[in-house]
Amino acid sequence: MKVLIIGGGGREHALAWAIAKSPLLSELVCAPGNAGMAEIARCVALDAADHEAVIAFCRDEKIDYVVIGPETPLVAGLVDDLKRAGIEGFGPSAAAARLEGSKGFTKELCRENDIPTAEYGRFFDAASATRYIERVGAPVVVKADGLAAGKGVTVAMTTDAALSAIDDIFAGKFGQAGASLVIEEYLTGEEASFFALVDGRNILPLATAQDHKRVGDGDHGPNTGGMGACSPAPVMSDAICRTAMDEIIRPTVRALAEAGTPYSGVLYAGLMITEDGPKLIEYNVRFGDPECQVLMMRLKDDILKLMLAATRGGLDKMSVHWREAAALTVVMAAKGYPGSYKKGSEIRGLAEAGADENVMIFHAGTARADGRLVAAGGRVLDVTARGATVAEAQRRAYASIDRIDWPEGFCRRDIGWRAVAREQAGGAS
């Protein structure tokens, strides 16, 4: 089968790498892809926001299946438009993608179905949002309703910070995504991610992961798209995974099916493991980036076959197998990220750095210029390693990074610290 992957980050390189191993695949095309994906697939320029162009391309090229990496095309209804054109796509419809596209929608769904999550209020104007803040005080979390590239959330430790976040949102900082907002109770605990495949009705739990959003060691500094991740997340014991399935994932999938908007694709729950058990922080309707890289590194099965079962139904007849081992990925970014950074600096030494069979270097923002590999984005490489433990995977990833010759790049040196600490304390895995 001929597959088109939409996207060009580390997540999509990991998906391409995993899909390329499938016996079902005849040809792999990526749009736009990156320099790493170009080594295993044909890369083409295609605007994912132009659904008609994507459909025309699929028809010309006889694409059988479209795998959509990022959330924006899913929320914009690319899967629905492909379906109308008779083309299968991996991911939810626009109606089901509201789980990520509207925080207010998800909070209401949680309230109606008794799904554990932070207390909240939803507001369409600044005056009522302000009155709510004056009543509940700080710390509190203010979130723009729609997609804001991960920048729409303010964890406000003071009421002033909360009020200024409200002003920013209603002043149009996030455009239409800020037409309404959600104010949430501040939850404390350890965060972890839980992934499952869903075919509308059946749920196949995948695995857990933990990411690091802050740019600096010790989880300091500004938020980023993600500076690294590991899987499994030791905080997610079997008991907590069962509770997350029973109290959060299953009721969500059931509610969407009953509403006539069944969910299909990968469902990614961001959880806070509180003293009262797991609570939902947010849903994402696609794989995480960089969590996808560690999941693909651990997966033993044919990802394409699993994705097709999510699209066509039949996940109840599927099972999934993981390497017992852990995987960890460290993001190398261009100096200055998440602020301004330069593009075009040369990267050398990847062949030597990736020589270990337990290491894969996924590309994110890379390109070729006159045969040289150069940085072409903020997050540039995802150095991913397997190990018997998270600690071993961590050692391998950093040993590989130390062989990469890229003076204009940087990375955190402590990815996986929570998982390693739990491992060393003898916690669950």
CB of 364 to ligand AMP, least distance (A): 20
Pick between residue 262 and residue 290 the one whose CB is nearest to ligand AMP: 290
Tell me whether strands 181-185 and 120-123 are parallel, antiparallel or unpaired. Answer: antiparallel
CB of 233 to ligand AMP, least distance (A): 13
CB of 152 to ligand AMP, least distance (A): 7
Pick between residue 27 and residue 191 the one whose CB is nearest to ligand AMP: 191
Q: Which of 205, 216, 270, 313 binds ligand AMP (CB under 6 A)?
A: 270
Rg of the chain (C-alpha set): 21
Q: In the β-sheet with 42-43, what is the strand arrangement from edge to edge?
A: 42-43, 27-32, 2-7, 65-68, 88-90
Cα–Cα distance measured from residue 270 to residue 262, given in angstroms and rounded to the nearest whole number: 20
Pick between residue 192 and residue 256 the one whose CB is nearest to ligand AMP: 192
CB of 375 to ligand AMP, least distance (A): 26
Report the alpha-carbon angle 201-14-64, nearest 5.
Answer: 60
Cα–Cα distance measured from residue 264 to residue 97, given in angstroms and rounded to the nearest whole number: 9
Pick between residue 81 and residue 185 the one whose CB is nearest to ligand AMP: 185
Pick between residue 289 and residue 392 the one whose CB is nearest to ligand AMP: 289
Residues numbered 202-241 forming contacts with ligand AMP, rule: CB under 6 A? 213
By CB under 6 A, is residue 281 in contact with ligand AMP?
A: yes
DSSP result, 350-408: HHHHT-STTEEEEESSEEEETTEEEE-SSEEEEEEEEESSHHHHHHHHHHHHTT-B-TT
In order of 30, 80, 108, 346, the CA distances from 51 in angstroms are 15, 10, 30, 35
Q: Percent helix, strand and coil across the chain, each rounded to 5?
A: 35, 30, 35
By CB under 6 A, is residue 282 in contact with ligand AMP?
A: yes
Pick between residue 31 and residue 156 the one whose CB is nearest to ligand AMP: 156
Which residue bears the tokens 């500004």? 222
Which segments of 89-183 does DSSP mark as H helices, in order? 98-101, 103-112, 126-136, 159-170
CB of 325 to ligand AMP, least distance (A): 26
Residues numbered 409-428 forming contacts with ligand AMP, rule: CB under 6 A? none
**Orientation of helix 159-170 relative to helix 126-136, angle to 10°:** 170
CB of 270 to ligand AMP, least distance (A): 5
By CB under 6 A, is residue 269 in contact with ligand AMP?
A: no
Pick between residue 5 and residue 153 the one whose CB is nearest to ligand AMP: 153
Pick between residue 34 and residue 224 the one whose CB is nearest to ligand AMP: 224
Q: How many CA atoms lie within 13 A of 270 on its CB side?
A: 20
Contact code string over 127-156 relative to ligand AMP, x by CB under 6 A = --------------x-x---------x-x-
Pick between residue 127 and residue 157 the one whose CB is nearest to ligand AMP: 157
Pick between residue 268 and residue 341 the one whose CB is nearest to ligand AMP: 268
Contact code string over 63-102 relative to ligand AMP, x by CB under 6 A = ----------------------------------------
> What are the CB-based long-range contacts (under 8 Å, 24+) for 240-245?
240/273, 240/277, 240/278, 241/194, 241/205, 241/208, 243/277, 243/278, 244/194, 244/269, 244/271, 244/278, 245/196, 245/203, 245/205
Residues numbered 159-198 forming contacts with ligand AMP, rule: CB under 6 A? 184-187, 191
Beta strands per DSSP E along 157-309: 181-185, 190-200, 203-211, 214-216, 220-223, 228-231, 263-274, 277-284
CB of 242 to ligand AMP, least distance (A): 23
Q: Which of 118, 215, 333, 411 binds ligand AMP (CB under 6 A)?
A: 118
Cα–Cα distance measured from residue 283 to residue 285, given in angstroms and rounded to the nearest whole number: 7
Pick between residue 213 and residue 395 the one whose CB is nearest to ligand AMP: 213
The size of the interface with ligand AMP (CB under 6 A), counted in residues, is 14
CB of 285 to ligand AMP, least distance (A): 13
CB of 240 to ligand AMP, least distance (A): 17
Contact yes or no for 31/45 (Cβ under 8 A): yes
CB of 281 to ligand AMP, least distance (A): 5
CB of 340 to ligand AMP, least distance (A): 22
Residues numbered 23-52 forming contacts with ligand AMP, rule: CB under 6 A? none
Cα–Cα distance measured from residue 145 to residue 125, given in angstroms and rounded to the nearest whole number: 12
Binding site for ligand AMP (CB under 6 A): 118, 141, 143, 153, 155, 184-187, 191, 213, 270, 281-282
